[in-house]
């Protein structure tokens, strides 16, 4: 290889636990790296060799289809071997502790753990307990960093930059780790974020976060460049956060009617899976402004970049 | 520091390589130049411009990023952390003669990586290697088909290629 003096930025994290702890330069570096991975999925041989001989474990303590599949695809396109581990089919259902599970996997020589857990902070705990790289695939209501990254990747790809954009995140903010990771990534890259939802679904400590809040989608819709509609997560909602689904839809659903007030080039996003007709009408989900499927495609490239980078950092720290 | 090539010499090398490539390419076969990031990319553009002019038809050029195919990715000795960048080849490489272009041929490891990367994109009719500087020190059984300047500079020295598109001047020096 030609010797070159390289004074460029160096990625040094062997774990990706959240976006809150990353700075704008690190986030941008991941996005730039992901660009190089995007094309692998479109060419003759949809595989490249950088993780050949590495073992990735998908350790999912909470149901997931899209994120888990996306990580599996990302790891296999990088030529890694993958072990799928879900709560239902493992010794966890026999009472094994998280740490024992992880230590056992480590004894098999894993290099990267992709973990999703219902409790916030579990990825961080794991990163301190084992030697493998840890990638957070969603922890409690805290963070879902790769979703945040693929969202800003998608926006940046279309709009060129996040700088100066106004972005509304709409719906169940309180129970959304996507909203949090999005907020960190978007604000660090220079966008202005507005949380929109009924007061019962806006987190209590929101005034400590770098966002503004609105309880009216109608007031916000005409101002924003991007709108990210969160899924109403019935499985997480306790009590009666809103009187009825119809009423929620009436005030906070993205309807064809409401879209008429939006900027013509507004990007409509959704982390999936969509409750069609609830947070978004089908015509909008499938409409010209929707980038929902591009988010899914970009998710693979972003996760490839993340797996590649944490492995690089681990290799170079030995 | 010793200057080994000046702008006129670099220009002449590109022209000479063009003539040799054309004389050895069977008529009727499509050729394309693909350069390894980042200096190879510029040389490939210059070569494709010359080839297009001489042949009177468009000879496309492309950019190959070999980072994912490097053999030192997982070695702790890796001095610099290579940044993954895009491969930009806007044409089909199948059944073409691909002129793979790099600035300096030394250990041959970049070329091994580049060949693996190319094969994942398709099946060219042939891959030929063109380099500006051919330097002694191969660690793999790889040789250039078209070499501009040959040198037996000892290991430890640095052969640096500067090109006006990226560095503001055309020059090759040994440090």
Q: pLDDT tens digits, residue range A29-87?
A: 999 999 999 999 988 899 999 999 999 999 999 988 899 999 999 999 999 999 998 77
Task: Say if B161 falls within a structural domain.
Answer: no
Of A37-46, A147-156, A186-195, A215-224, the range with the lowest mean pLDDT is: A37-46
Q: In this prediction, what percent of chain A has a pLDDT beyond 70? A: 95
- Residue range of the domain that includes B93: 8-23+30-73+83-152
pLDDT value for A90: 64
Q: What total of structural domains would you count in chain B? A: 1
Q: In what order do the strands lie in the sheet with A192-196?
A: A212-214, A192-196, A166-170, A226-229, A267-269
How confident is the model at residue A121, as a pLDDT?
95
In chain A, % helix, strand, coil (3-state, to 5) comes to 40, 15, 40
In a domain? residue B164 = no
Name the band, by pLDDT with cuts 50, 70 and 90, for residue A3.
very low
Local confidence band at A5 (pLDDT 50, 70, 90 cut-offs) = very low
If one counts every other C-beta atom within 10 angstroms of the C-beta of residue B128, the result is 18
Question: Is B132 among the domain residues?
Answer: yes
> Is residue A93 pLDDT above 70, yes or no?
no
Output the six-digit token pair for A185. Answer: 């990534």
Please report which helix (H) or strand (E) contains residue A226, including its range: strand A226-229
Q: Is A4 within 8 Å of B81 when comparing Cβ atoms? A: no
Determine the 3-state secondary structure of A243 from DSSP.
coil
Task: Evaluate whether residue B52 is within a structural domain.
Answer: yes
Q: Is residue B59 domain-resident?
A: yes
Q: Return residue ranges of chain A for CATH 3.40.50.1370.
A: 24-143+297-317, 145-296
Q: Do A315 and B103 touch (CB under 8 A)?
A: no
| Average pLDDT of span B17-24 | 96
* pLDDT at residue A318 in the model: 65
Of A4, A45, A48, the CB nearest to B80: A4
Q: Which of B81, B87, B110 sits opposite A312 (nearest CB)?
A: B81
Task: Please give the mean pLDDT across all residues of chain A.
Answer: 92
CATH number of A24-143+297-317: 3.40.50.1370
DSSP collapsed to 3 states, chain B:
CEEEECHHHHHHHHHHHHHHHHHHCCCCCCEEEEEECCHHHHHHHHHHHHHHHHHCCCCCEEEECCHHHCCCCCCCCCCCCCCCCCCECCCCCCCCEEEEEEEEECCCHHHHHHHHHHHCCCCCCEEEEEEEEEECCCCCCCCCCEEEEEECCCCCCCEEEECHHHHCCCEEEEC
Q: Would you give the DSSP letter of residue A92? A: G
Q: Which residues of B touch A (CB under 8 A)?
A: 39, 65, 67-70, 72-76, 78-81, 83-87, 103-104, 106-107, 109-110, 116, 119-122, 158-159
pTM of the model: 0.93
Q: How far is A232 from chain B (nearest CA, A)?
A: 37
Q: How far is CA B64 from CA A37, B3, B10, B21, in A?
A: 13, 28, 22, 20
B100-131 per-position pLDDT tens digit: 999 999 999 999 999 999 999 999 999 999 99
Does B160 fall in a domain?
Answer: no
Measured between beta carbons, which residues in chain B are less than 8 angstroms from residue A43?
Answer: 120-121
Q: What is A145-296's CATH number?
A: 3.40.50.1370
pLDDT digit string, tens, across residues A237-292: 777 778 888 899 999 999 999 999 999 999 999 999 999 999 999 999 999 999 99
Asked if the structure places residue B12 within a domain, the reply is: yes
pLDDT of residue A204: 87
Which CATH number goes with the domain that contains B12?
Answer: 3.40.50.2020
Q: Above 90 in pLDDT, residue A158?
A: yes
Interface contact A8-B83, CB threshold 8 A: yes
- A32 chain-B contacts, CB cut-off 8 A: 83, 85
């Amino acid at each position: 290889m030609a010797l070159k003096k390289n004074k460029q930025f160096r990625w040094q994290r062997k774990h990706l636990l959240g976006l809150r702890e990353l700075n704008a330069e690190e986030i941008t570096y991941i996005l730039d790296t992901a660009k190089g991975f995007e094309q692998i999925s479109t060419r003759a041989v949809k595989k490249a060799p950088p993780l050949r001989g590495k073992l990735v474990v998908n350790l999912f303590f909470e149901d997931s289809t899209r994120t888990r599949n996306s990580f599996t695809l990302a790891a296999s396109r990088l030529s890694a071997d993958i072990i799928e581990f879900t709560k239902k089919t493992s010794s966890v259902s026999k009472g094994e502790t998280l740490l024992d599970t992880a230590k056992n996997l480590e004894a098999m020589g894993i290099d990267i753990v992709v973990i999703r857990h219902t409790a916030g902070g579990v990825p961080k705990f794991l990163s301190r307990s084992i030697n493998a790289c840890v990638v957070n695939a969603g922890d409690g209501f805290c963070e879902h960093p790769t979703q945040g990254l693929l969202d800003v990747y998608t926006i940046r790809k279309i709009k060129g930059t996040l700088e100066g954009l106004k972005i509304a995140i709409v719906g169940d903010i309180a129970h959304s780790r996507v909203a949090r990771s999005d907020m960190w990534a978007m604000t660090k890259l220079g966008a202005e974020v507005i949380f929109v939802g009924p007061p019962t679904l806006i987190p209590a400590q929101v005034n400590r976060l770098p966002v503004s809040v609105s309880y009216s989608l109608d007031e916000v819709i005409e101002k924003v460049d991007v709108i990210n509609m969160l899924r109403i997560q019935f499985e997480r909602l306790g009590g009666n956060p809103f009187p009825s689904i119809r009423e929620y839809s009436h005030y906070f659903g993205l309807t064809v009617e409401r879209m008429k007030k939006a900027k013509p080039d507004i990007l409509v996003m959704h982390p999936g899976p969509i409750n069609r007709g609830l947070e978004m009408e089908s015509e909008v989900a499938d409409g010209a402004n929707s980038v929902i499927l591009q988010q899914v495609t970009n998710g693979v490239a972003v996760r490839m970049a993340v797996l590649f980078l944490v492995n690089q950092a681990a290799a170079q720290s030995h | 520091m010793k200057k080994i090539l000046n702008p006129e010499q670099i220009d002449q090398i590109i022209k000479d390589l063009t003539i040799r490539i054309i004389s050895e390419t069977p008529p009727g076969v499509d050729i394309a130049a693909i350069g390894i990031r980042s200096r190879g990319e510029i040389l490939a553009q210059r070569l494709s411009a010359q080839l297009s002019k001489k042949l009177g038809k468009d000879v496309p050029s492309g950019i190959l990023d070999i980072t994912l195919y490097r053999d030192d990715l997982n070695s702790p000795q890796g001095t610099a952390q290579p940044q993954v960048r895009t491969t930009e080849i806007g044409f089909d490489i199948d059944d073409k003669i691909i002129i793979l272009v790099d600035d300096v041929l030394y250990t041959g490891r970049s070329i091994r990586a580049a060949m693996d990367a190319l094969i994942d994109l398709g099946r060219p009719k042939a891959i030929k290697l063109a380099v500006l500087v051919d330097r002694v020190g191969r660690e793999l059984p790889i040789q250039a088909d078209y070499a501009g300047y040959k040198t037996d500079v000892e290991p430890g020295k640095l052969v640096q290629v500067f090109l006006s598109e990226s560095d503001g001047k055309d020059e090759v020096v040994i440090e």
